[in-house]
């Protein structure tokens, strides 16, 4: 029997349900039989409302940008020239603009005083935007992350509100030194990481999309030495890895190593027993890279739904 849902079969089902409003049993059967359909429908609705919110923020952000930011950062986002310097940094391909949105929100809310990455700008300091409301800042940041060829997830008013609460006691602008502390506690979004693996390289983006059903898979039997590696956008504090495997497709034994330069590696967990959900904890350390390696051969693929390396709770 095919359980595929068509618009016609939905119409029939809706009519039957409407004719029997008191029959909760029918409704239960309907939602159970057509589970996949309802899940997909909910996903589509979530995507549509996501797209709508993003469009709104982009429209609003475009206004705020030309109303204020463009006078220093330029209509083309590349910074207004001032002699052989710039009034303010270019946003095009700027790793801080495209990186962790919480980090960017910290800078936008509280301001920044340079130099930045070895450069000084003639426009003085970046003013704190905290006198504006959450939506204003979210819109401006979403706009600069998604204009002039830039592409990064939107920043929502909720994201701004969260950072605003956390930084309510911050008074002056950040410097490279003070922002480093914030940086060490950010970068946990897997979308910001560069992932690599011994096998199944092309399935790694499945760990970075929003669809939880897709897996990363080696598509070949596990061999001792197979690894999965995450490169973070900057140095960050870590203390835990969580691997969510599919079925029985996980290594029997694994180890976790970290590095700050990609040359020297330090083992933080030497021999961990694999499980469907494997949680590896180790003392808090600073790293830019983390690698999980399979320690024994196994006659199954390695398949993961989820790979998390959260920021330690303070």
Of the residues 77, 89, 187, 200, which one makes contact with ligand HEC according to CB under 6 A: 89
Of the residues 9, 62, 78, 113, which one makes contact with ligand HEC according to CB under 6 A: 113
What secondary structure does DSSP assign to 47-58, as a single string?
Answer: HHHHHHHHHHHH
123 or 251, CB closer to ligand HEC? 123
Residues 6+ apart with CB under 8 A from 181: none
Residue 216 structure tokens: 């990363």
Distance CA 187, CA 4 (A): 41
108 makes contact with ligand HEC (CB under 6 A): yes
Nearest partner of 128 among 113, 144, 143, judged by Cα: 113
Q: How far is the CB of 116 from ligand HEC (least distance, A)?
A: 5
152 makes contact with ligand HEC (CB under 6 A): no
Distance CA 20, CA 27 (A): 9
Residue 227 structure tokens: 């690894």
Of the residues 58, 60, 125, 184, which one makes contact with ligand HEC according to CB under 6 A: 125
Residue 306 CB burial class (10 angstroms; 0-12, 13-18, ≥19) = middle
Identify residues 211-250 at the interface with ligand HEC (CB under 6 A). none
Distance CA 139, CA 41 (A): 28
Three-state DSSP class for residue 276: coil
Distance CA 88, CA 83 (A): 12
94 makes contact with ligand HEC (CB under 6 A): yes
- Strand bridging mode 227-245 / 85-86: unpaired
Tell me which stretch binds ligand HEC (CB under 6 A): 94-102, 152-160, 210-218, 261-269. Answer: 94-102
Identify residues 29-68 at the interface with ligand HEC (CB under 6 A). 64, 68
96 or 164, CB closer to ligand HEC? 96
157 or 312, CB closer to ligand HEC? 157
Whose tokens are 């080696």? That residue is: 218
Q: How far is the CB of 33 from ligand HEC (least distance, A)?
A: 50
Of the residues 98, 105, 129, 294, which one makes contact with ligand HEC according to CB under 6 A: 129
Distance CA 291, CA 268 (A): 10
Q: Which residue is nearest to ligand HEC (CB)?
A: 114
89 or 187, CB closer to ligand HEC? 89
Three-state DSSP class for residue 248: coil
71 makes contact with ligand HEC (CB under 6 A): yes
Residues that bind ligand HEC (CB under 6 A): 64, 68-69, 71-73, 88-89, 94, 96-97, 104, 107-108, 112-114, 116, 121, 123-126, 129, 140, 144
């Amino acid at each position: 029997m095919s359980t595929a849902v068509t618009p016609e079969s939905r119409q029939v089902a809706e009519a039957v349900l409407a004719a029997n409003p008191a029959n909760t049993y029918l409704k239960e059967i309907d939602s159970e039989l057509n589970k996949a359909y309802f899940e997909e429908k909910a996903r589509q609705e979530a995507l549509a409302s996501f797209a709508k919110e993003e469009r709104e923020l982009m429209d609003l952000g475009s206004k705020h940008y030309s109303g204020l930011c463009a006078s220093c950062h330029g209509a083309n986002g590349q910074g207004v020239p001032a002699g052989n310097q710039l009034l303010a940094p270019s946003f095009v391909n700027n790793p801080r603009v495209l990186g962790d949105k919480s980090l960017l929100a910290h800078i936008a809310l509280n301001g920044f005083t340079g130099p930045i990455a070895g450069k000084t700008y003639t426009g003085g300091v970046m003013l704190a935007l905290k006198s504006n409301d959450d939506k204003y800042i979210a819109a401006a940041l979403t706009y600069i992350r998604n204009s002039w060829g830039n592409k990064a997830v939107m920043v929502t008013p909720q994201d701004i509100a969260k950072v605003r609460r956390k930084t309510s006691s911050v008074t002056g602008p950040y410097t490279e030194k003070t922002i480093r502390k914030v940086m060490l506690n950010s970068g946990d979004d897997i979308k910001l990481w560069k992932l690599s693996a011994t096998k199944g390289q092309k399935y790694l983006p499945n760990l970075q999309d929003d669809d939880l059903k897709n897996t990363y898979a080696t598509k070949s039997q596990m061999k001792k030495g197979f690894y999965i590696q995450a490169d973070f956008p900057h140095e960050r504090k870590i203390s835990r890895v969580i691997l969510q495997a599919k079925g029985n497709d996980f290594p029997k034994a694994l180890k976790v190593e970290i590095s700050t330069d990609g040359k020297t590696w330090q083992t933080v967990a030497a021999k961990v027993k694999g499980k469907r959900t494997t949680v590896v904890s180790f003392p808090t350390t600073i790293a830019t890279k983390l690698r999980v390696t399979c320690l024994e051969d196994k006659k199954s693929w390695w398949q993961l739904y989820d790979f998390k390396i959260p920021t330690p709770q303070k």
